[in-house]
Amino acid sequence: KAGVTQTPRYLIKTRGQQVTLSCSPISGHRSVSWYQQTPGQGLQFLFEYFSETQRNKGNFPGRFSGRQFSNSRSEMNVSTLELGDSALYLCASSGGRGSYGYTFGSGTRLTVV
């Protein structure tokens, strides 16, 4: 079956712009989580959505937001981009409540210039 699909794979944006990243989870998975990965900080949890509701949120500023649609697809938005937002953004899906273990997508590499 198809894995977790993230689009686009690569993105270059200018400081101050905003960006929207997309994630399509594995069919049947209702939980989608987003992570930011940088060389210095490793994987940092952004937020998790389950059945269109944000269930958990990490310690990121309000410029980072997300949403989940009824088909479980999710989007992540970053407004007013800063140079420090350059990172690999990973989406992961799981079967939902009580179902542990993520399947990750290949990520979106965001570069802010």
Partner 1 sequence: EDQVTQSPEALRLQEGESSSLNCSYTVSGLRGLFWYRQDPGKGPEFLFTLYSAGEEKEKERLKATLTKKESFLHITAPKPEDSATYLCAVVVTGNQFYFGTGTSLTVIP
- Chain positions contacting partner 1, by CB under 8 A: 4, 33, 35, 41-43, 45, 48, 55-56, 90, 92, 97, 100-107, 109
CB distance 34 to 76 below 8 Å = yes
Nearer to partner 1, 14 or 100 (CB): 100
Q: Is 57 helix (H, G, I), strand (E, B) or coil?
A: strand
Nearer to partner 1, 4 or 19 (CB): 4
Distance between CA 66 and CA 60 in Å, rounded? 12
Nearer to partner 1, 55 or 73 (CB): 55
